[in-house]
Structure 1
Amino acid sequence: MTEILRELGTIARALDSISSVEFKDLKLSKGQYLYLVRIYEQPGIILEELANYLKVDKTTASRAIKKLVANGLIERRTQLDNKKNKPLFVTKKGAQLYPMLRAEHNYSEQTALRHLTTKQQVQLQQLLQQVRRNIEKDWEIVKKGQKRNY
């Protein structure tokens, strides 16, 4: 039996723990940096799209957004033609954090991929994208309240 998912989980938890410690001074609690980065990179994204992108439920995303709004890092804007969906944007204060968040990401990625050839890195990315696509199917099923058949 392979232990690929355990390895991926360990990597994800380690990087999340590192980020939580390093971003504590920025008043970004666990995982909030992910939301800030995605909103910066996709200005105007709506909550549902963001939740789907990060593979979290809307309630979890909504809580994180509420905290980021309260800290003045992002803002919701009301559209005249659609008052239900409020696009999300990074504030000036939030935008000032992006270079550091991006630098941390780049450093972590370089560290993780150290000693892998360019060809291996491309192959790893392709394989992980396929794994993600495979899991997304089940995520969609479970998100809709159904059970997986195993």
Structure 2
Amino acid sequence: MIDILREVGMIERALDSMSNIEFKQIGLARGQYLYVVRIYEHPGIISEQLSNLIKVDRTTIARAVKKLEDKGFIKRRSDPQNKKIKRLFVTEKGKKIYPFIIRENQHSNAVALRGFTDEEAQQVHDYLVRIRHNIDGDWDLVKHGGKREY
């Protein structure tokens, strides 16, 4: 069987490592850029939704949100209908760094897809989306305390 996940993992770790180095200059630590981008793109998102979007547990979300809030990149606001619900938004400081993060992402995409036709790039995208959908069920099961059968 082809072990595609090793290749995906190596790609992800290489890109994440480069991003972490480059984003230090704008005050972001390991992986924080991802939270800023997702909150920017989904203003008012709640932690549970962010957890599902990024595929990390709620504890990790809570720590990351707290750190980004302390640095002034994001803010929490109570939901007008239910004060217990905290909605996440980027601040002006967060909005200013978004274009830099997106430029890095576009550059990395261009490098990764160098030599691919538009059709091939679309196929890669479609296959990766299918793979993610295949994994979503297991993610949800394990996240809610279930056990996968190997």
Same fold (TM over 0.5): yes
Match of 2:118 in 1: 118
TM-score norm. by structure 1 comes to 0.98
Q: CA RMSD in A?
A: 0.7
Segments of 5+ residues of structure 1 without an aligned counterpart are none
User: What is the 5 A alignment of 1:1-150?
Assistant: 1-150=1-150
Deviations 1:29-54 (A, max 9, x none): 11100000011111111111001100
Residues in 1 aligned to 2:15 and 2:85: alpha-carbon distance in whole angstroms? 32
Residues in 2 aligned to 1:141 and 1:84: alpha-carbon distance in whole angstroms? 26
Residues in 2 aligned to 1:39 and 1:139: alpha-carbon distance in whole angstroms? 21
TM-score norm. by structure 2 comes to 0.98
Amino acid at match of 2:132: R
Structure 1 segments, 4+ long, off by >3 Å, are: none
Residues in 2 aligned to 1:51 and 1:69: alpha-carbon distance in whole angstroms? 17
Residues in 1 aligned to 2:21 and 2:65: alpha-carbon distance in whole angstroms? 20
Instruction: Kindly tell me the number of residue pairs found equivalent between the two proteins.
Output: 150
Residues in 2 aligned to 1:43 and 1:92: alpha-carbon distance in whole angstroms? 13
Give the share of equivalent positions with the same residue, in percent: 53
Segments of 5+ residues of structure 2 without an aligned counterpart are none
